[in-house]
Structure 1
Amino acid sequence: MQKALLFLLAILPALLIAQERRGQWLINTNTGFTTNQGAPGIRDLLGSNAEAGYFLSDRLLLGASLQFGEVDGGDWEFNDNYVNPYLRYYLPGSSDGRLRYFAEIGGLLRFNSGSALSIRPGLGLEYEIARGIVLNAGLRYTAAENEFPRALSLQLNTLVLLGREGDPEQKDGENYRKARGTTMLNLGFGNATWGSLGSFDYKDVNLTFEASTFLTDNFLLEARLGAYYSDLGRESPSYVGDYLNLSASLGGRYLFRSGKRLQPYLAAGITYEYLEQRVDIELGNVPQEFSLDLQVNQVSYYGKAGVLYHLNDRLALDVNVGYDGVTKRINGGAGIRAFFGGN
């Protein structure tokens, strides 16, 4: 930790020479929140994510990510909140500047009923797939400290660069029309984690891909794929717990007021979900075992209404409320959407 900080301090003067990205913001497109109402026995579920960074120089980024989760069951409540500040240094990549490698040093702070702090170094790469839109892949290690498990995580995100010098600034009344073939991307969140906590070993994989394409100036065909897998186990007393959830949805979204900065919309579609859960527990010295084997297949629907507010020609804020036929719940959310491609 001390060596890493000394290294960054030593190279800081050299970093100030190159200023291509200095003053820009890097925003995670997964920044936003979701909330669900009406689940049996659970009054409210709120989850939010945010990540942003500021370029101190072309190669040095100061950033932080936040994750907040809350479940309110009336007589009980559960909170799980994290803050991850980090300092990231970019290494030269491809000759055109679209590919960059990075190394970072950060910390992971957890606060709910108690608090805990762990060191979190990482390595990764970024690739600019379109003007101002960046795919980010990072490998990060969380040291075992206090309540934190020892873990290695692979994370995937879509990021947006803001404040680039020379970018055209659009004003109210100008055209935000999206041509046929333009893609609206919300890669959302992806990670794979391997680690241990006490006598338990665990694996956790969570992948989501969501994208829409404009078939006309007003209508988008949208699709979403999701996969979540967790595996928790130990040898003695024996405990094995596996959980798998696969989902896919296909639908359409109609935008009103084509080409305007503020665009209300209606969306609907169908959803398929597969759920599998297995638990085998040996209760210590007691000659007793507990087993659970569950499989669920279901097809349902969703509907939602919302608004897109275009921040510029490639970035929009999406605010919506809807109904999920799988969970039988009303949900709402907000997030950032990125646009690229088209004519």
Structure 2
Amino acid sequence: MKVIVTIQHPGHVHFFRNAVAELDSRGHDVFVFARESEVATDLLEAYGIEYELLAGESDSMLSLATVQATYEARLLHRARRIEPDVITAIGGVAAAHVATLLRTNSLVFYDTEHATLIQRLGYPFADVICTPECYRGEIGDKQVTYPGYHELAYLHPDRFDPDPSVLDAVGLEREETFAVVRLSSWDASHDVGQGGFADPRAVVSRLEDAGATVLLTAEGDPPPDLEAYEFTAPPERMHDLLAFADLVVGEGATTAAEAAVLGTPSVYVNSQSLGYTSELEDEYGLLFAFDGDDRHARSLEKAVSILESTTPETDRWERRRERLLEERIDVTSLIVQQIESAARATDADRSAVATNLG
């Protein structure tokens, strides 16, 4: 089978990388096309995934439309020559449009309910849309739900074993208490009008006062007076760091969920909530979300209470993670199964057309 995978964000690389390797091992031809976004291409190269870059990175909402149009046009040109059996993506606007024009099947994965622009542009054209069971929204007959999260495609213990040498790489002692702080850029279409922390400097100060070494990671540039807190490590080592952190505090839902499924308590500060962040909080107690007007103050209180707890916490978080893993799946297995299913459906459709023409 011929499979096209499209990548438009670093998280997409993590989501698909194990599936790409497994599809290749099964003898399928996998073609990966990317649009530059943050460190997406760095990750593709770090994982040894062959890819073709079709468009550059946008620096504004206005340029995003131009970049996206260029990306779709070039993807269509490449796909016509490949004649894929399936095109797959997260979000999947370009994948769904190109697949429709080529009369092949598109398979879209998504977990972000409030990204309404992507849904309006992509969902009507997609053939199959896979969402976590906790996704808030009914899509119709084309929706396939599963008991898991995107992050379990690459952080399930069958796929990931954290490497403690990352602590040496960022200059930490093995027993040192540390917190990772993640700042968002707020430039995505679904982030317009939203927000997280009132003042990132206050976050760093409070965590330090609670006895934690703070490591900062940010989309874009952090405030100049916080640059000293940024750490230097290859982007593919980020998950190792999250696994060994005592706490993760951030504005990004993906990082918050990554920490949670790794068994690291996660404080998520964002004016928008999501189905999967709510489930990780309500069902498993591994994530603590704060989205109201007083989210900044309340989130810092929670973060400090976790760091200053006098009772051993490691076993408690690990027990919660173990229950999560018992009830949720290795999502890479689902990705591979759905891709092969969609490809077989395309072959069946083509055979039916050929028979009718005959």
The TM-score bracket by the shorter chain reads under 0.3
Greater fraction helix:
2
TM-score (normalised: structure 2): 0.24
Pick the structure with greater CA Rg.
Answer: 1
TM-score (normalised: structure 1): 0.25
Higher relative contact order (CA closer than 8 Å, sequence separation 6+) = 2
